[in-house]
Chains A and B, each alone.
Chain A
Amino acid sequence: MSMIDRIVGGLRPPAPGSTAGNGHLAADAGLIVDASEMTARRTTPWMAVQTARNITRPHALEVIAGAFERFQELHGDRSFRDDPAIVGGIAELDGRPVVVVGQQKGASTEENIQRNFGMPHPEGYRKAIRLYRVAEKFHLPLVTLVDTPGAYPGPEGEERGQAESIASAIRALTTLATPIVVVVLGEGGSGGALALGVGDIVLALENSIYSVISPEGAAAILFRSATEAERAAQAMRLAAPDLLELGVVDALIPEPAGGAHTDHDATTRAIKTALVAQLDRLARVPVADLLSTRYERFRAFGTILEPPNEAPAPRRPWWARGSVRDLFLRMRI
């Protein structure tokens, strides 16, 4: 991120009076880049979880319909079936063709059953990989929309290689030679979300969450009770402002007052503005630089303590060591 900033200018607008205006303002486009701006609007982590999961929030297909034009959906992984929990295809964003892939939740119980509650099977991730390759082959930017409780944990998923499909999807993204912008729409559930979540710029809606395990799952393991989910959510720092502080996301897209579910049009407009600005920025970066900055962006995660790597002092000769040296000194006096 910081290296991309160095190439095309940061997300922040330049200081007043500065002449280094290299499109920063366009890039900023109403995004929240500083978590301290959020302090007044922050809700409790548990409220954030509830808002992120709100069934009436705009989901992937709706965002695609609102923010993109002329979307043509592409189906199937070419080896097993078409997974309805992942949607994707070719669309135009502000007149330019892009590939868009997203996890699809339903807006009603029936729809959710059909979409498997946005929990993809391995064939869903393999469909995503296929679409990533299309983006790379035809030099189209890739936009991914993350919104899933996690990859489907059922026995069919295990039989068809859930872990391998996620690992392969992440690998495809880390080396994909085309600009990638990720938007977390609602729930970013663990590895199943990360399979769509590796990009040059990662954005998130203001009320979204992203976590290594669901708060219920964490509570079941840590407190031996799923009812402690609220406590787990508190400890996990999964709300969007926390993610901004941790650097997991680069900027937040503000939602309408009351949340994205209160005004779908305003939300999709904000997403579109953010995407257009970010893809404009990335289009100015050579692909080789994109790949190395993407590597460095994810390489940097993890705070570790490392003792300073000092060479040990050379051993003193026998006559200069502790007791012998003292003896010499005393003799001189």
Chain B
Amino acid sequence: MLFNKQLARNLNVCTKCGHHFKLGAKERVEILADPRSFRETDADLSSTDPLGFVDSKPYPERIAAAQAKTGRRDAVITGDAALAGIPVVLAVMDFEFMGGSMGGVVGEKVTRAAERALAERKPLVIVAASGGARMQEGTIALMQMAKTIGAIARLDAAGIPFVTVLTDPTTGGVLASFASLGDIVLAEPGALIGFSGARVTSETIGEKLPTGFQRAEFLLEHGFVDQVVPRDQLKERIGFFLNAFRVAGQDLRWSL
């Protein structure tokens, strides 16, 4: 038996088996940012409908429904925070909002977060949770991959630390853009992480996939994730890396 309150108190990790259930974006900000240090930015950005997209219902209606459900304007929260005492720019994706899909707003907010990290010379920490690019925004959503990577590449050239945390699930266009490019790439135990959905893959080869395929441990084994870190150790671990990077050449890099 597993009680909700017990689960919530343990950061949505099962007290018996250690299974990591999904954690909301707001809760995740709370466990990563130091108390009262988080200042949200660009909270008011919301999406337009560049294609006039209609499937079973029009895209603006879907957005409105997701906004009503989550109380947020789109699928990522960005802001300034302190993480283990280090000032950082933090972006946390919200799987509850249309599967965390990346459209114009997610692309814009992540890009702005990276640009602010560059301007203020603060490390960037992104927690990814996304099904990929947002279909309803078509090629505009696809171009967000190039847009976010462009900003990340500038961070890279400026020698500013960038840490990504891949949580359940991180797939498609988000994994194939900024989420894979962290100086340090961490993942949560058991998180589904992959380029194409498991259903597509199993249809491609016409057979069932082995258990553990596209899980965090699978990526660790194949060399695409630096560490699989349990949720309660994430903050400490990110803090360790950021501290280490800060010491190396700090006088040169951080006072420029």
Contact = CB atoms under 8 A, between A and B. Distances in A.
Interface of A: 151-155, 157-164, 166-168, 170-171, 173-175, 190-191, 194, 197-198, 210-213, 217-218, 221-223, 232, 235-238, 243, 246, 248, 294-295, 298-299, 301-307
Given A166-B176, A211-B139, A161 B223 contact: yes
B146 A198 contact: yes
A71 B181 CA distance: 33
Interface in B140-182: 140-147, 149-154, 156-157, 172-173, 175-181
Given A155-B209, A302-B107, A305-B46, A212 B149 contact: no
Nearest to B44: A307
Nearest to B99: A221
Contacts of B51: 235-237, 246
B55 A223 contact: yes
B56 interface: yes
A305 B45 contact: yes
A237 B138 contact: yes
Interface in B86-115: 103-105, 107-108, 111
B100 to A, nearest CB: 15
B56 A222 contact: yes
Contacts of A194: 142-143, 145-146
Contacts of A304: 45-48, 104-105, 108
29 contacts: A155-B205, A158-B194, A161-B180, A162-B196, A163-B179, A163-B180, A166-B176, A167-B178, A167-B179, A167-B181, A171-B152, A174-B150, A175-B157, A191-B142, A191-B145, A194-B143, A222-B135, A223-B55, A235-B53, A246-B51, A246-B138, A248-B140, A298-B143, A298-B146, A299-B147, A302-B105, A302-B107, A302-B137, A304-B46
B214 interface: yes
B134 to A, nearest CB: 8
B204 to A, nearest CB: 5
A13 to B, nearest CB: 28
A159 B144 contact: no
